[in-house]
Amino acid sequence: MELSLSIPALLFPAISLTMLAYNARYLAIAALIRQLHQKLKETESSALELQVKQLRKRLSIIKSMQAIAIISFLLAVITMFLIYIESTMVANIVFGISLLALMISLTLSLIEVQLSTKALSIQLEDISK
């Protein structure tokens, strides 16, 4: 397959939107952590401590998602530069790595969404008791 400048450029909007979504998740969790921190100061609850532990795990996953998405974006830009200087063999390899990085980032996103859903299910069970 012949790699042209437009192919890696197609990743730009996808990665940008992905980064916006990841950032929104990060900001939502940051707000929740601040809220839980205040509650934890007021009451010593083991349930809140468990939530904090889960949030720490989710925050770590989101940080990895963001870092890998940025690497994917950077590799797409490098691919375009390599195509521009007519290093097509290296450009193909770098673009493949860029796609792989994006897939890893999306997989981490799926894991984080599942952790989030599990946390909400636990809270719903607690509410219904």
State mean pLDDT over 61-70: 93
Inside any domain, residue 129 = no
* Tens-place pLDDT, residues 88-112: 999 999 999 999 999 999 999 999 9
Distance of CA 54 to the CA centre of its chain: 16
Residue 126, pLDDT score: 66
Do residues 115 and 54 lie in contact, with contact meaning Cβ atoms separated by under 8 Å?
yes
Inside any domain, residue 28 = yes
The overall average pLDDT reported for the chain is 86
Residue 116, pLDDT score: 85
Inside any domain, residue 98 = yes
Inside any domain, residue 45 = yes
Dihedral, CA of residue 15, residue 21, residue 24 and residue 28, to nearest 10: -130
Q: What is the token pair recorded at 116?
A: 């989030």
**Which domain, by its residues, includes 89?**
6-124
Residue 91, pLDDT score: 94
Residue 55, pLDDT score: 86
Inside any domain, residue 111 = yes
Do residues 75 and 56 lie in contact, with contact meaning Cβ atoms separated by under 8 Å?
no
* Tens-place pLDDT, residues 11-56: 878 888 888 888 888 888 888 888 877 777 777 766 677 777 888 8
75 confidence band (pLDDT: 50, 70, 90): very high
State mean pLDDT over 74-78: 94
Residue 70, pLDDT score: 93
For the entire predicted model, the pTM comes to 0.79
Inside any domain, residue 1 = no
Inside any domain, residue 37 = yes
- Total of domains in the chain: 1
Residue 3, pLDDT score: 81
Inside any domain, residue 43 = yes
